[in-house]
Amino acid sequence: MNVKIAPSILSADFSRLAEALEAVERGGADLVHLDVMDGHFVPNITIGAPVVRSLRRVSSLPFDCHLMVSEPQRHIDDFLEAGAQMISIHLEADPHLHRALSAIREGGAKGGIAINPASSAELLGDALDYCDYVLVMSVNPGFGGQRFITSVIPKITRIRGMIASRNVDVEIEVDGGIDVATARSVVDAGASILVAGSAIFGKGDPVERIRAIRMAATTSLV
Ligand code: DX5
Ligand code: ZN
C-alpha cells in the first residue's frame, strides 16, 4: 500500500512555519496537516483560515485541514477559500454530515470524517458513502505529543472492513501518537495516511524524521 506522510505543524515553531513547511516538503511529505482548534470543541485554540491562506503561498503540498471546532459547517467556505485540498470535520461536532461533506466536495476538496477514540466505528455508517477519507483519532484531540491509544487498532480494522463491504473509495488517516514505533501497526490495520506532529517537529531534523517514519511504516517485518 502507498503510505502518505502528513506532518502536523502543531508541534512546529509557530514563529517559523514557512521554514517548517519548506523542511517537510524537502523531506518528501505527501501532505501538510493543519490542526484547527476553537477552544470549545477541544480545550485548545490554534489557527484559523487566515493562517492557512498565508501558508498556502509558501508550500506546494496539499493542505489537509482537520477542523476540531464546534459547528464546523459554518467555517467550510473559509477553509476552501484559504486553499485546503482536504477538510475533515468531526462526526461528534456535526449532526448534518451529509450537508457538510457535500459542501466540502462541491468546493473541490476531499471531505473527511474525523472520529474520536471513544466513538464507535459503527457511527460512520451510511456517511461512508459521502466521504473521501476517515480520520481516526488515536489520541483525544486537543494537544500534540500524547500517547498513542492502542485500542484504536481494532477500530481501524473494523473501518477497513466497512469500507470494503460498501465497496467505496475511502482512505483511512490516523492522527495522534504516530512515530517509528506505532506507524507500522496502523498501516497493517488499513491506514494509508499517517499524521505525525511531535515525532517530526520534536528533536532532530524533520527531513530525517519523515524518512524514518516512512521506513518504519512500509518496511516488511518478515
Ligand atoms: C491532536 C491533533 C494532531 C496532533 C498530533 O489533537 O489533531 O494532529 O498534531 O500530534 P502528535 O503526532 O504529536 O500526536
Ligand atoms: Zn490533527
Distance of CA 11 from the midpoint of ligand 1 (Å): 8
State yes or no: is 35 an active-site residue: yes
Q: Which residues contact 181 (CB under 8 A, 6 or more apart)?
A: 216
114 SS3 class = strand
pLDDT at 4: 98
Nearest ligand to the CA of 117 is: 1
Q: Please say whether the beta carbons of 170 and 193 come within 8 A.
A: no
Distance of CA 143 from the midpoint of ligand 1 (Å): 6
The C-alpha atoms of residue 77 and residue 161 are separated, in whole angstroms, by: 32
pLDDT at 219: 85
pTM over 0.85: yes
| Nearest alpha-carbon partner for 80 in 101, 60, 98 | 101
Give the cell for residue 40: 470549545
Residue at 137: amino acid letter: M
| Nearest alpha-carbon partner for 153 in 121, 180, 179 | 121
Q: Give the pLDDT confidence of 57-99 residue by residue, as tens digits.
A: 999 999 999 999 999 999 999 999 999 999 999 999 999 999 9
State yes or no: is 132 an active-site residue: no
Residues of the chain with pLDDT > 70, as a percent, come to 99
pLDDT at 76: 98
Does ligand 1 come within 6 angstroms of the Cβ of 217? no
